């Protein structure tokens, strides 16, 4: 695991599959554009649509389909000439830890990883169903990939009932138990520091280009009570681990055991994982804003 952490911190370009529930809220949109605008760090091979279920979808499959369409929208706003393959993902969450959900996205992960001569980094910023399904179908990929996942809460948090994790606990358990090289970025207690406001976004992004105006507008429209309001842009942290790795404080720890009721248990004899325990909010946003505004 130390070698993988060194590779992450090296700043050298990585081959990436981005797995995103792009329509779930408004942070995935920033993240897709951030990845596309960081070619010195990221070679974005493909994008998978991940399932989600909340007030913006009628079921997991509807969430995936809306995410699939939003990916194309953000790609066009970021670069109308982009020709990045996009794959539909799972239409449901796992019912157990032995049966995968068949999807283009899971097959894309398998085919890409098996064909590669170097490790493929899968950045997952939603429910991790597609990745877990790929591992169930083809466990051989574990040794040829690295998973960066925004999921769960910090280890010191009272529980880990975070949206991405609790939607598909079985999939999360597969990731934690499979021994796939994993870098985990927790939400509350770590990513929750990545908060911005509409005035800040308007100052740095407003009027810069069509993409920036779209991002500012979807954040502004996200709340009915904008007075003194701020929004966490959670998912950009997963890309930032590769674009500005020194802005994230990492440590290697034994992988926790995820219980069925969304708590982390500890076993010091477990295989190790990379845990992000803190981040530099200002450094990440400075890099993100410059990339989105094409000012780098």
Question: What's residue 275's pLDDT?
Answer: 98
* Mean pLDDT of the region 34-48: 98
Q: What is the CATH classification number for the domain harbouring 179?
A: 3.90.245.10
Quote the DSSP letter at residue 94. -
* Mean pLDDT of the region 41-60: 98
Over 70: is that where the pLDDT of 91 sits? yes
Residue-number span of the structural domain to which 194 is assigned: 2-292
- Average model confidence (pLDDT) across the chain: 97
The count of domains in the chain is 1
* Mean pLDDT of the region 209-222: 98
Rounded distance between C-alpha atoms, residue 175 and residue 173, angstroms: 5
Q: How confident is residue 296, by pLDDT bands cut at 50, 70 and 90? A: low
* Mean pLDDT of the region 261-279: 98
* Mean pLDDT of the region 194-215: 98
Cα atoms found within 13 Å of the Cα of residue 166, Cβ hemisphere only: 12
Cβ–Cβ under 8 Å, residues 47 and 87: yes
CA distances to 67, 199, 214, 220 from 84, rounded to whole Å, are: 15, 32, 21, 29
Question: What's residue 295's pLDDT?
Answer: 87
Joined tokens for residue 23: 């329509």
Q: pLDDT tens across 139-195, in order?
A: 999 999 999 999 999 999 999 999 999 999 999 999 999 999 999 999 999 999 999
């Amino acid at each position: 695991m130390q070698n993988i952490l060194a590779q992450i911190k090296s700043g050298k370009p990585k081959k990436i599959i981005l797995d995103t529930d792009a329509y779930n809220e408004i942070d995935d949109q920033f993240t897709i554009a951030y990845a596309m605008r960081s070619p010195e760090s990221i070679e974005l091979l493909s994008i998978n649509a991940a399932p989600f279920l909340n007030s913006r979808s009628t079921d997991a499959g509807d969430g995936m389909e809306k995410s699939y369409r939003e990916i194309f929208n953000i790609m066009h706003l970021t670069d109308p000439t982009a020709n990045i393959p996009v794959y539909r993902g799972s239409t449901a969450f796992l019912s157990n830890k032995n049966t995968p959900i068949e999807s283009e996205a899971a097959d894309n992960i398998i085919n890409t990883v098996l064909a590669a001569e170097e490790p493929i980094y899968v950045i997952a910023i939603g429910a991790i169903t597609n990745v877990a399904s790929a591992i169930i179908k083809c466990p051989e990929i574990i040794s040829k990939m690295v998973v960066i996942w925004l999921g769960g809460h910090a280890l010191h948090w009272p529980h880990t009932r975070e949206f991405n994790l609790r939607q598909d606990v079985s999939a999360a358990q597969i990731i934690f138990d499979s021994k796939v090289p994993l870098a985990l970025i927790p939400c509350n207690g770590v990513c929750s520091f990545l908060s911005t406001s509409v005035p800040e976004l308007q100052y740095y992004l407003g009027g810069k280009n069509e993409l920036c105006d779209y991002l500012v507008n979807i954040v502004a429209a996200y709340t009915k009570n904008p007075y003194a309001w701020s929004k966490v842009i959670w998912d950009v942290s997963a890309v930032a681990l590769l674009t500005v790795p020194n802005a994230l404080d990492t440590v290697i720890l034994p992988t926790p055991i995820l219980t069925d009721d969304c708590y982390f248990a500890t076993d010091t004899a477990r295989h190790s994982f990379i845990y992000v325990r803190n981040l530099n909010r200002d450094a990440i946003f400075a890099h993100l804003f410059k990339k989105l505004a094409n000012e780098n």
